[in-house]
Chain A
Amino acid sequence: MTHPAAGGLTGPPRLPSPYDHGPGAQSANLADILERVLDKGVVIAGDIRINLLDIELLTIKLRLLVASVDKAKEMGIDWWEHDPSLSSRAARPERSLADENERLRAEIAALKAADRRPEP
């Protein structure tokens, strides 16, 4: 790392973290990063230049924009399809794997609910 790269840290790492390994920052799972940087983080409304982004719809907008790219499908950026608030397709059972997932998630939810109940 001889030149400061865009978004890079040029100094020595101080604490262990997934970012400061230099090349390690590039190998971090893109899905993990996207769901945080695009979907979480503080949204400052009202006074930023990009009106498109200063609203709560930021995430949805970004997701839909990404969804319009064919490559997004290829790369598997399709989590909104499973989010009923974002897509009507989420309600439509398509694949048996998706069904299996839903079933398992429902089961986990049920178990969690049972777990939360006080033991007799």
Chain B
Amino acid sequence: MTDPNLVYAYAVLRRTPEAAVAVADLRGVAGDPVHLLEPTDPASPLAFAVGPVPAADYDEAPLKAHLDDLDWLESTVRSHHAVVGALVACGTAVLPLRLATVYPDEDHARQALDTRRAYFLSLLDRLTGHVELGVKIYAAPDITPPEPDTGSGQATPTGLGVGVGRAYLAIRRRRERRNEEAWRTVAQAAVHVTRTAGTLAVDRVAHTPQRGSLAGPAPGTNVGNDAYLVPADRVDAFRTGVLAAAEGIPGLRVEVTGPWAPYSFALQPEPVPGPSSSLL
């Protein structure tokens, strides 16, 4: 009888007692326990957080089919995220892997861990002591809808033909100028928020602004959707500073999300030149 299970890897992390405790209670995307997979070399400080998944769901063909199923995808993505989040919550640096990093067996997974030791360590070193925070900027400027300003004192219907046309154009131009101004105010404030966030963070990665109902009830148009790498002990300062930068601006809403596992910063191998010393 062949083993019906594949090995799903969630994250790379250091083998610490905290990490061992953190995985002890965890269940993976298929509901099975998660455990730490140790490398071949006992001197290596790394481990994979892995768990078994049924080949019937995670082999190439079934997985491909599943990815077409949005309900399956959502549940799997949330489970993956929950495992990674629980590891982060134990206080250890975590390198989150992308969805569905699946090995045929533990030997193959271990091999991947062994051969990429230096790469993983350099990434972990960079991320240790940091978390990812999201900053979503929404613009909802007070825009006058393109309806005629009926009842406005400016619209004097004295003339016919050319006069009416001119009055209409004047109203339209004023409306456009007002709307331009409203957008500009919000845009400048958005830049200010982004700049402020930048000074409070070590690094920044821009995500595509979110659209559609998936993003939930949005307080306006999402014009900025960035991830920031922030020292773990500066999360409150970051949140407070960013929200303060957005305060009192009509038509501007800012949402700070996280802390997240540093998904958005797990792809850059080059180490960052030390955190800025000029913060605040």
Q: Interface residue tally of chain A, by bracket?
A: 35 or more
Which of A10, A32, A77 is most buried by chain B, counting CB atoms within 10 A of its CB?
Answer: A32
Partner pick for A14 among B90, B112, B183, CB 8 A cutoff: B90
Show the binding face of A for B, using Cβ within 8 Å: 4-11, 13-20, 25-26, 28-44, 47-53, 58, 62, 65-66, 68-69, 71-72, 74-79, 82-83, 97, 100-101, 103-105, 107-108, 111-112, 115
With A65-B67, A78-B212 known, 20 other A-B pairs at CB within 8 A are A7-B79, A7-B80, A9-B25, A14-B89, A14-B90, A15-B90, A25-B81, A30-B78, A35-B208, A42-B12, A42-B123, A43-B97, A49-B108, A52-B60, A53-B101, A75-B214, A77-B212, A104-B186, A105-B223, A112-B194
Contact across chains for A49 and B96 when beta carbons are under 8 A apart: no
Pick the residue among A15, A31, A52, A100 that contacts B64 (CB under 8 A). Answer: A52
How many contacts A-B (CB < 8 Å)?
252
Q: Does B237 sit within 8 A of A, measured CB to CB?
A: no
Within 8 A of A (CB), among B85-99: 85-86, 88-91, 95-99
Q: For residue A77, which residue of chain B has the nearest CB?
A: B214
**Most A Cβ at <10 Å: residue of B30, B85, B188, B221:** B85
| A50-B263 in contact (CB<8A) | no
> Could you give, for residues 115-133 of chain B, a 1 whenever the CB lies within 8 Å of some chain A CB and a 0 otherwise?
0100000010000000000
Q: Which of B35-43, B254-262, B271-279 contacts A (4 or more CB under 8 A)?
A: B254-262
Ranked nearest first, the 9 interchain pairs of A and B with the lowest CB-CB distance are A76-B212, A19-B85, A7-B79, A76-B214, A36-B263, A7-B82, A41-B98, A10-B25, A40-B263
